[in-house]
Structures are given as C-alpha cells and as structure tokens.
Amino acid sequence: MIKAAPDEAEDGVMTTPVRKGDLQVTVTETGTLDSARNAILTCQVEGSTTIISIVPEGTFVKEGDIVCELDSSALVDRETTQKISLTQAEALLSQAQENVEIQKTQNESDVAAAELKLSLALLDLRKFEEGEFLQQVNELSGAVTLARENLSRAEESQAFVRRMAQKGYRSQNDLEAERIAVTKAEIDLKVAEEKLKVLKDFTYVRTLEELQANAKEFEREIQRVKRKSVAALSQKQAELSKCELTFKVEKDKYERIVKQIEACTIRAPQDGQVVWANARDPRRSDAPVIEEGAVVRERQAIINLPDYDAMKVNARIHESRISLIKTGLPVRVRIDAYAGEVFGGVVDTVSSVPLSNSSFSRGDVKEYEASVRLTDAVEKVNKLRPGLSANIEIIVAELSDVLLAPVQAIVTIGRDQYAWVRSGDKYERRTVKIGRTNERQIEIKEGLTDGEKVVMNPRTLFAKEVGQLENELAKKEAEQSAEGGPRRPGGPRGMGGERRGPGGPEGADGSSPMIPGGPGLPGQRGAGERGSGQPGMGPTSAGESGRPQGGRPDASQFDADRARPRNEGTAGTRGPADFPVETKPAEPDVKSSENRQAPALPLPAATK
C-alpha cells in the first residue's frame, strides 16, 4: 500500500497528490487471548456445593493430581439413606422372583388336575357305552326270557291240570292255583319287558348325555384353569417387573450419589497450569468468584487447564461489520504485552447471534463474538498466556492499483462526495465517486486523476462553502417536507435528536462507503441535519450517519466508520470506530442557493 505523503504547506494550505497504489481494507477490534484447547473442569455435583480446597492459581499440575475438593458431607448422608432403600428394593425383588417361580409350579398342578378330571370323565363315558349299558341290557333281556319261560310252563301246567280236573283227577282248587301261577308269570314277563324298555329308551339316553356333558365341562375347565394360570402368572410377573424397575431406580440413585461423592474430588485430566475460572470481563460485576469457601453450582466452570501450544483470540465484532467477517480470513494479531511483534492468525468461528450481554453498556448496539486462531509456530505461540489483551486486524479485502486519496480530503454532503483540488494558485471543488476505504485512505473511482493535489483539511479552510452546501441541502429538504413531497430518506435519530442519513454512492463492488462529513446547523432537525451537535455514530454527512434508509447499515459501510478524519468534526451518534476529532461548526448562511457549480476559488483570506 502506497502512502501519499502530504506536500509542504503552500500558503498555509496542506495538500497531497492522489496516487495509484494498493488498498487493504481491514476491520480492527480488540480481544482477549485464550487457549484453543482448554480443559475445563466443572462442578458435577447436583444443585450447589462449597469449595473446600483449591490449588493456587498459576500452579503447574500433572495429570491425575487433585486440584480441587468440594464439600461432600451432605452426599455422604444421602448415600447411607439410599443404601437402605436399595437393600429393601433388592429384598422385594428377590421375593417377587420366588413368587413367579411358585406361580409357575401352581399353574402346572392346576392344569394337570383339570386334565385328569377330563380323562376320568371320558373313561366313564366309554365305560357306560361299552360296559355298563350292555351289561344291564343283557341282565334285563335274560329276565324277560326267563319270565317268558315261566309263563310258558305255567300255561302248560294249567292246561294239564285242567285236563286232569275234567277227568276228575284234580280238584278245582288245583286248577285255580294254576290260573294264579299263569297270571303271576304274565305279570313278571311284562315287568321284565318294561324294565328293558326303560333302560333302552330313557336310562341309556340320560346317562349318556350326562357323561358327555361332564366330559365337555371338564374340557372347558381345562381352558379356564389355563387362563387363570396365565393371568396369575402375569400378575406375579408384573409385580416382578415393578420390583426390578424400583431396584434399578434405587440402584441408579445410589450409583449417582457415589459418583457425585467421587466428583467432589477433582483431578487434572492433563498436564497444565491452573487458571481459576473467574470472569475476565470487568463489566460483569455479578459473575461468580472461584475461591475457597465459594459456592458453586452444577456444571459451573471451576478451573481451566489451557494448552499453550494452541492459542486463540476472542473478540467482539460490531453489528455494522459482522457481515464482512467470514471464517478463513487472514488476521494480523498484536499483543500488548509483546509490543512490536505481529502474530499471524485466521478467523476460526463467527457467531450467528449477538451476545446477550453486549448491549447494556452501549444502548441498542449489538456485538457478535468471533474467534481468531493463531497460526504461527508452536515455539512462538506457547509463550503467550490466556487473558492478555490483543488487537486483531482482519484483512477483509485487498485492492490493487487503484487511485487513493486521504480520507480527510473527502467531504460528504447528503449523497455527494467532494474534494478540493489545487489548480495553480486557486482551489476547485470536485464531485467525486468513491469506493472502499480504510482508516487512512479511500478509493477514488471518478472525479480525480493521478497526481492531482487535494486539500487535506477542506472543512477547516472552506467551512463557509461547506456550510452553504449543507444549508442548501437542509433548505431543500425543509421545502419538500412543507410541500408534502418526498423527504430525503434518513435513518433513525441520533442521541441528540439528529437524524441519521443515507450513505454515499455505491462502489463498483456494491459497497456503500461512508465519508466523513461536516457539522450540521445547530438546533435543526430533519433528514440529514444534526440536532444538538452531539458527537455521533460513524462518519456523517451534514449530520447524517451514512446509513441507508431503514436504519440497518450496509455491510460494506464499515469502511465509513474508519474513514473518519482525525481533525474533522462530525455529527450523529458515536460508533465503535469513532475517535476524538476537533469540530469546527459551519457558518449559517441563508444565501445557499448561489454558486451551485463550484467556481475556482482564490486562496482563503485567513491563510494568505
């Protein structure tokens, strides 16, 4: 990058030629060193506990060394109580297991008894059909046959006695006795036949149906017994599952308490230097303090064991510049403790959400956290220590062979940028088109040529002309507002009531750089006027901050924050890239409509 050295003051006016050169666009922020591989030892005890002892900060420890001890007295009491609960749960589990085995045996016995009853019922049915019934039929059939024989003999005897009585050999009484014998034989035959009929037609059917019904009932009994057995076993198994779950829960509680007691003794997982995990941010006054007797909560960091071979810088990026920061961008790192030494780095991570605690000290301004990993050799990096202050310079873009001018030589009024060029013994105002910028130089795309000399402090030397241009702009906007016409777009009002205005023209790459402007008219408000003359945020034009309509800045406008001249006044609200400047108020002039085209001006009287 070529630095344009200012010429010697000619007639008291400092000028410098614009030259072609290389422009490096960077974002500069401050940060804090930290280890990229940091072993964080945290409190693993539920709830909160107290630090009983902790090794002094800065002590070098070996892997396995005890570095901190936490209060475990309450946990020891809980362990005893939980041990009792665990023993009771174990006894209930054992009993439930035995009940399941007993129920299985009982089920087998019940099913076997039901099956035996069915077998006996089937056997009774078969015995009746194939044995008892046939036996009874044979007995009754024999009785019928015998009765018939008795009847036949009685009838033959009666006939014989009747013949003998007719011949006079037998008496009438003998004949009557024979008749009675025949009648008795007939009755016996009829009774025997009726018994056989009852057996075949009624007793057989009834007994058969009864035995068959008994067999079917015992079949159903087997199904009932099996279902009851399954239900009873399921109940016992459910009780067993409940006892198993209870035992597991109680065991887990006990083991967790034991682990927490073990966690009260914190050991180093690696070699390193002990760093207490106290907050390094002075703005966080409510941050917990690590020391003996301090109360720590679960998962709270207690000790850091950094690896000094891998270091990084944690920085906060202003919201207007965060869109420019990408992972992989090269970074130059300077450590305050090692003045004059530059470390190389690369953007490692960029947060996608703003820091939740970054807005309390800067109004509604948001900041994003970025991490820069140092890429130098281990021998150069391991001498650094966490907590050191660092300045990072992120290289966003590099332009080659472009026309460059000092940022303080450019004045922005509204959406236009101007430069004052020396032409012989006079000075000419030029409208220029600008591109990217950094803290010192700005790219000139149109309006100037290589070698032309521009005034270094135009706002001071040409304050009247600048004031006229600003007044013309303010008057025009006031007229448009009074007529109900379109108002010049502006951003939100600044701290002093001023309105933040739009940025300058876009560059070839789509950027919208901002150029430092002059002071606005005191007490005026509107699109671009400065309200109270309070210091403002970022470079402005006529009190405008260079923000596009809608209030959110274009990403490339970070250039304007850095393009602020160190000796020029500004308006608007102060931004993160501002630095102290001297402010010379503009002279109010109502004759602002004249000389809209910039004439060649003689040297200001004050400098002749």
Q: Encode pLDDT of 374-388 as tens digits.
A: 999 988 988 898 889
Q: How is residue 208 written in tokens?
A: 């058969």
Which residues, 6 or more positions from 306, have their beta carbon under 8 angstroms from its beta carbon?
34, 35, 37, 38, 39, 272, 273, 275, 386
Q: Kindly indicate the confidence band of residue 9, based on its pLDDT and cuts at 50, 70 and 90.
A: low
Other C-beta atoms lying within 10 Å of the C-beta of residue 486: 9
Q: Measuring CA to CA, which residue among 291, 287, 293 is closest to residue 302?
A: 291
- What confidence score (pLDDT) does residue 591 get? 38
- What confidence score (pLDDT) does residue 287 get? 57
- What confidence score (pLDDT) does residue 485 get? 54
Which residues, 6 or more positions from 539, have their beta carbon under 8 angstroms from its beta carbon?
412, 514, 515, 516, 517, 545, 546, 560, 561, 563, 564, 570
- pTM of the predicted structure, to 2 decimals: 0.49
Specify the higher pLDDT residue, 108 or 439.
108
- What confidence score (pLDDT) does residue 439 get? 79
Helix (H, G, I), strand (E, B), or coil: what is residue 79?
helix
Residues in the chain: 608
Residue 578 has pLDDT above 70, yes or no: no
Give 88-106 pLDDT, tens digit per residue: 999 999 999 999 999 999 9
Q: Residues 474, 414: contact at Cβ < 8 Å?
A: no
What is the Cα–Cα distance from 552 to 554, expressed in whole angstroms? 7
- Degrees (nearest 5) of the Cα angle 602, 604, 608? 100
- What confidence score (pLDDT) does residue 20 get? 92
Give 71-84 pLDDT, tens digit per residue: 999 999 999 999 99
Other C-beta atoms lying within 10 Å of the C-beta of residue 558: 32
Q: Kindly indicate the confidence band of residue 582, based on its pLDDT and cuts at 50, 70 and 90.
A: very low
Strand spans (E) along 301-415: 301-306, 311-318, 330-335, 342-350, 367-374, 389-406, 411-413
Q: Kindly indicate the confidence band of residue 566, based on its pLDDT and cuts at 50, 70 and 90.
A: very low
Beta bridge partners of 142: none
Q: Kindly indicate the confidence band of residue 294, based on its pLDDT and cuts at 50, 70 and 90.
A: very high
Q: Kindly indicate the confidence band of residue 193, based on its pLDDT and cuts at 50, 70 and 90.
A: confident
Q: Measuring CA to CA, which residue among 277, 287, 276 is closest to residue 357?
A: 287
Q: Kindly indicate the confidence band of residue 58, based on its pLDDT and cuts at 50, 70 and 90.
A: confident
Residue 549 has pLDDT above 90, yes or no: no
Give exposure, 236-257, as e/b (b: 16+ Cβ within 10 Å): beebbeebeebbeebeebbeeb
Residue 409 has pLDDT above 90, yes or no: yes
Ranked by mean pLDDT, the top range of 272-281, 331-340, 488-497 is 331-340
Which residue, chain included where needed, has tokens 């907590």?
387
- What confidence score (pLDDT) does residue 283 get? 52
- Degrees (nearest 5) of the Cα angle 255, 259, 262? 140
Give 198-228 pLDDT, tens digit per residue: 888 888 888 888 888 988 999 999 999 999 9
Give CATH for domain 46-70+264-304: 2.40.50.100
Give 453-469 pLDDT, tens digit per residue: 999 999 988 999 999 99
Q: What is the average pLDDT across 511-532?
A: 37
Give 338-368 pLDDT, tens digit per residue: 988 999 999 999 999 998 764 444 557 789 9
Q: How is residue 296 written in tokens?
A: 């720590």
DSSP string, 472-490: HHHHHHHHHHHTT-PPPP-
Q: What is the average pLDDT across 459-488?
A: 82
Residue 509 has pLDDT above 90, yes or no: no
Helix (H, G, I), strand (E, B), or coil: what is residue 401?
strand
Give 110-165 pLDDT, tens digit per residue: 999 998 988 898 888 888 888 888 888 888 888 888 888 888 888 888 888 888 88
Specify the higher pLDDT residue, 594 or 300.
300
Give 441-457 pLDDT, tens digit per residue: 999 999 999 999 999 99
What is the Cα–Cα distance from 329 to 312, expressed in whole angstroms? 14
- What confidence score (pLDDT) does residue 288 get? 66
Residue 408 has pLDDT above 90, yes or no: yes
- What confidence score (pLDDT) does residue 519 get? 36
Residue 470's region, left for phi above 0, alpha for psi from -120 to 50, else beta, is alpha
Per 3-state DSSP, the chain is made up of helix, strand and coil in percentages (nearest 5) of 40, 25, 35
Ranges of CATH 1.10.287 domains, the chain: 75-256
- What confidence score (pLDDT) does residue 253 get? 94
What is the Cα–Cα distance from 59 to 65, expressed in whole angstroms? 11
What is the Cα–Cα distance from 557 to 539, expressed in whole angstroms? 10
Q: Measuring CA to CA, which residue among 384, 371, 373, 375 is closest to residue 338?
A: 384
Q: Residues 371, 311: contact at Cβ < 8 Å?
A: no
DSSP 128: I
Ranges of CATH 2.40.50.100 domains, the chain: 46-70+264-304
Specify the higher pLDDT residue, 369 or 501.
369
Residue 293's region, left for phi above 0, alpha for psi from -120 to 50, else beta, is left
Phi and psi at 56, nearest 5°, equal -60, 145
Beta bridge partners of 275: 304
- What confidence score (pLDDT) does residue 486 get? 52
Strand spans (E) along 526-573: none
Name the CATH architecture for the domain at 75-256: Orthogonal Bundle (1.10)
Q: Kindly state the percentage of the chain with pLDDT values over 90.
A: 41
Specify the higher pLDDT residue, 168 or 580.
168
Q: Residues 418, 429: contact at Cβ < 8 Å?
A: yes
Q: Residues 281, 287: contact at Cβ < 8 Å?
A: yes
What is the Cα–Cα distance from 515 to 459, expressed in whole angstroms? 13
Residue 232 has pLDDT above 90, yes or no: yes
Helices (H) and strands (E) in the chain, counts: 8, 22
What is the Cα–Cα distance from 338 to 330, expressed in whole angstroms? 20
- What confidence score (pLDDT) does residue 209 get? 87
Q: What does pLDDT average to over the chain?
A: 78
Q: Kindly state the percentage of the chain with pLDDT values over 70.
A: 75
